[in-house]
């Protein structure tokens, strides 16, 4: 239990544990109905995968098995709560790597069953989508969301929690994949996105001009594989211009995202844009979107940098919203959904 007198749990408090294990990061979060996020920890197994140049699903699953229980214990100890204080457990059920999802699902279901409290399957992308609600300054519904996480690039019309309409998505590589693949082409290792962003700082913005894919045709879908190919062909001709190629690629990618966001805002007539997922940590993208926001009178919201990538806090948050509104898993089976559309989710009543 909490030591602080003012934070003594009452019968009206609802404390949710969140477990994130969809890929190569084990994240745990603890969300309190009155005090908000009261604890979170993350362990990334990225170093294990770096030598293979990408995530190895079997290794990711094994690492989650080792990490998840010690992390839960650490988060509870830090927040001065015990397992018996929990009112519900949320876990990422998809999208993601099947083996990795099964670890989080199995731990969540077993704990919930032994504690006789509800569990709930949470959509990984809904976690990213709502992560800005962990901040003091929060977006108001409705808004347009740009989700740029791992294998996903999508624009979503968000009317309320659980009321999502996909306006556009990537027809091939997601932008994060294109960043990683371009970094690999340039020999920057894994994970490529952050390494590429560092190299960009030394690049000359006038050296090369890359195409802005699909901006001259109507609609809100994306395509980034051609941009990656353009980077490969340019690098073959100019092998000693790595920083300039990285710069041209990043400018083209971020401007493409900005142009599509502006189009989605015009289409929906909304005045708020939420940007979330790993690529939302990219400073060039933030600069591009903030400038666009000022121009068209749009408020732009992001999660703090540590909640852009996968984390347990966002899963605890979504779990809190849904569990405290009476939603819960009906069966004891561990149901994961490696592929799962946001549009299938239920609205919170």
> By the 8 A CB rule, do 14 and 327 touch?
no
Can you tell me the distance from the alpha carbon of 344 to that of 162, in angstroms, rounded to the nearest whole number?
A: 9
Q: Is 134 annotated as a binding residue?
A: no
Residue 21 assigned ligand-binding role: no
Distance, CA of 93 to CA of 338 (rounded, Å):
7
In contact, 190 and 180? CB cutoff 8 Å: yes
Backbone angles phi, psi at 191, to 5 degrees: -75, 140
Residue 71 marked in a binding site:
no
Q: What 3-state class would DSSP assign to 18? A: strand
Report the Cα–Cα distance between both ends of the chain, in Å, rounded: 31
Q: Rounded CA gap, 29 and 18, in Å?
A: 5
Maximum alpha-carbon separation in the chain: 68
226 is in an annotated binding site: no
Q: Is 148 annotated as a binding residue?
A: yes
Q: Residue holding tokens 């060039």?
A: 284
Whether 124 has a binding-site annotation, put simply, is yes
Strands 119-123 and 88-94: parallel
What whole-number distance in Å separates Cα of residue 160 and Cα of residue 348?
8
Which residues have a Cβ under 8 Å from the Cβ of 179 and sit 6 or more positions away? 192, 193, 196, 249, 250, 253, 279
Contact between residue 38 and residue 4 where contact means Cβ atoms under 8 Å apart: no
Q: Is 147 annotated as a binding residue?
A: yes
Please indicate if the annotation marks 150 as binding a ligand: yes
2 is in an annotated binding site: no
| 180 appears as a binding residue in the annotation | yes
User: DSSP string of 264-314?
Assistant: HHHHHT-SEEEEESGGGG-HHHHHHHHHHHHHHT-EEE---GGGTSS-HHH
Bridge partner list, 17? 30, 89
282: annotated binding-site residue?
A: yes
* Residue 89 half-sphere exposure toward CB, CA atoms < 13 A: 25
- Binding-site annotation, residues for substrate: 147-151, 180, 193, 282
Binding-site residues for Fe cation, in ranges, read 124, 128, 310
Task: Return binding residues.
Answer: 124, 128, 147-151, 180, 193, 282, 310
């Amino acid at each position: 239990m909490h030591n602080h007198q003012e934070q003594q749990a009452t019968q009206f408090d609802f404390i949710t544990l969140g477990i994130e294990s969809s890929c190569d990061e084990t994240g745990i979060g603890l969300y309190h109905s009155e005090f908000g996020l009261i604890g979170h920890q993350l362990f990334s197994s990225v170093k294990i995968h770096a030598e293979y140049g990408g995530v190895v699903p079997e290794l990711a699953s094994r690492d989650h098995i080792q990490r998840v229980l010690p992390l839960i214990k650490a988060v509870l100890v830090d927040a001065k709560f015990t397992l018996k204080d929990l009112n519900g457990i949320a876990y990422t059920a998809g999208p993601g790597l099947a083996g990795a999802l099964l670890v989080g699902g199995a731990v969540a279901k077993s704990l919930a069953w032994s504690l006789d409290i509800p569990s709930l399957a949470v959509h990984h992308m809904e976690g990213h989508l709502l992560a800005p609600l962990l901040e003091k300054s929060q977006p108001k519904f409705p808004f347009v969301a740009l989700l740029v996480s791992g294998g996903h690039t999508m624009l979503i019309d968000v009317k309320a929690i659980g009321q999502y309409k996909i306006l556009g998505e990537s027809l091939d590589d997601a932008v994060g994949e294109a960043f990683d693949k371009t970094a690999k082409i340039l020999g920057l290792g894994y994970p490529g996105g952050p390494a590429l962003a560092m190299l960009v700082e030394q690049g000359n913005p006038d050296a090369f001009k890359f195409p802005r894919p699909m901006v001259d045709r109507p609609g809100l879908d994306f395509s980034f594989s051609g941009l990656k190919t353009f980077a490969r062909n340019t690098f073959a001709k100019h092998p000693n211009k790595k920083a300039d190629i990285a710069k041209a690629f990043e400018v083209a990618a971020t401007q493409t995202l900005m142009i599509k966001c502006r189009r989605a805002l015009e289409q929906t007539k909304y005045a708020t844009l939420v940007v979330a997922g790993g690529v939302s940590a990219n400073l060039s993208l933030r600069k591009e979107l903030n400038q666009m926001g000022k121009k068209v009178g749009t408020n732009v919201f992001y999660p703090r940098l540590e909640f852009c990538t996968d984390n347990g806090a966002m899963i605890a948050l979504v779990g809190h919203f849904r569990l405290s509104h009476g939603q819960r898993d009906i069966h004891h089976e561990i149901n994961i959904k490696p592929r799962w559309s946001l549009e299938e989710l239920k609205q919170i009543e």
